[in-house]
Structure 1
Amino acid sequence: MSEVFEILFGSKSRVRVLRLFLLNPESEYSVSEIAKKNMISVASVRKELNSLKKINFVKEKTKKGSKTYHLDQQFHFYPELKSLISKSTASPESKSLGRLKGIGDVKLALISGIFLNYPKSKVDMVLVVNNVSRSKLKNLMNSLEAEIGKEVSFALMNSEEFKYRLDMLDRFLLDFLEGPHTELVDKIPGLKRFILGLKKY
């Protein structure tokens, strides 16, 4: 058993590979896909897969000369590991989230969904950003998804669109604001008061 845990938690690369498989248990990935999604080298991926195959955490499949890997859901510690990863994967203190302010003039950044283990949320993030840099936003999301091990869904709008949707009592926004969420940035005057008003009814 000690060998199993030594193999499971040996490195940062391994943790990212573990997260990818545990949070996407039905998916199959090639080595290059795993490397791209986790932002780690192909050599690191091969090393981790070889270790994880030894303890039957992943299975290898060959089809038309191409190898893919998927989680073996019969792995002895699968339920416990999935629970552990789900609780620890996405944190508001994430390193990648610290780069959020660099994507533009950020007026509002709210997180829910995967970050708060709240699967009912329609998106994981609501971002209100003026003069957004699409390339920096893409890099941020790629980094977040590598850190988390799962695709991050988000709604992006500028201040004008956000105000319009709030004034129209947009159902999507209201549902998000009424549900569990955490504020990373809030420069919208009166928003906290508006949310408190929603929760009274």
Structure 2
Amino acid sequence: MSEILETLFGSRAKTRLLRFFLLNPEGEYSVMEIAQKNMLTNAQVRKELNSLKKIKFVIEKSKKNQKHYILNRNFHFYPELKGLIAKSNIYPQCKSLGKIKGIGDVKLALISGIFLNHPKSKVDMILVINNTSRGKLKNVMNNLEAEVGKEVSFVLMNSEEFKYRLDMLDRFLMDFLEGPYDEIVNKIPGLKRFVAGIKKY
């Protein structure tokens, strides 16, 4: 048991792989796919996969003459590890969230969902940005997904669309604002007062 636990933890690469497989239990991935999704090198991935394969955390399969890896849900500590991941708040560890401010003229950035362990949220982020740099947005999202271990779902709109949705009491937006969320950026005048008002009822 001690050997298994020592193998499970120890490096950033290993932690990312553990989280990735636990959050994507159905997927089968090649070394290249795992490396790209987790912002790791192929060498790092191969090293960690070899140790995780030894303790039967992952299963190796051959698919079109290429090795693919899938989570072994019969792994002895699977329920405990899944529970640990579910309870862990990923938000403080996500350094890439700070880079959102450089995507454009950011008026609002709210997080929920995967970041706050709120699975009922329909999206993980709401972004209100004018003059968005698509390249920077893609880069930030790729980094975030590597830190989180899963695809980040988000809604992007400009100030005009956000104001329209807010004025119309858009159901999707109201559901998000009524649930738990954290602010990364909030430059929308009166939004906090508005949210406090809808949460009263």
Whether TM-score is above 0.5 comes out as: yes
| 1:28-177 matched pairs, under 5 angstroms | 28-88=28-88, 90-92=90-92, 94-177=94-177
Question: Structure 2: which amino acid aligns with 1:56?
Answer: K
**Deviation of 1:90 (Å):** 2.0
Please list every run of 5 or more consecutive structure 1 residues that lacks an aligned counterpart in the other structure: none
Q: Distance in 1 between matches of 2:63 and 2:186?
A: 50
**Deviation of 1:182 (Å):** 0.9
Q: Distance in 2 between matches of 1:34 and 1:40?
A: 8
The DSSP-based 3-state class of the residue aligned with 1:27 is: coil
Q: Distance in 1 between matches of 2:102 and 2:194?
A: 27
| Ranges of 4+ aligned residues in structure 1 off by more than 3 Å | none
Aligned residues: 201
The DSSP-based 3-state class of the residue aligned with 2:91 is: coil
* RMSD across aligned positions (CA): 1.0
Q: Is the 8 A contact 1:19 1:89 kept in 2?
A: no
The DSSP-based 3-state class of the residue aligned with 1:165 is: helix
**Counterpart in 2 of 1:196?**
196
- 1:55-101 Cα deviation digits (max 9, x unpaired): 00000011231111000001111111111122326214521111111
Q: Distance in 2 between matches of 1:26 and 1:93?
A: 25
Q: Is the 8 A contact 1:89 1:148 kept in 2?
A: no
Please list every run of 5 or more consecutive structure 2 residues that lacks an aligned counterpart in the other structure: none
Identical-residue share of aligned pairs (%): 74
TM-score w.r.t. the length of structure 1 is 0.97
* Structure 1 residues 138 and 190, CA gap change in structure 2 (3 angstroms): same
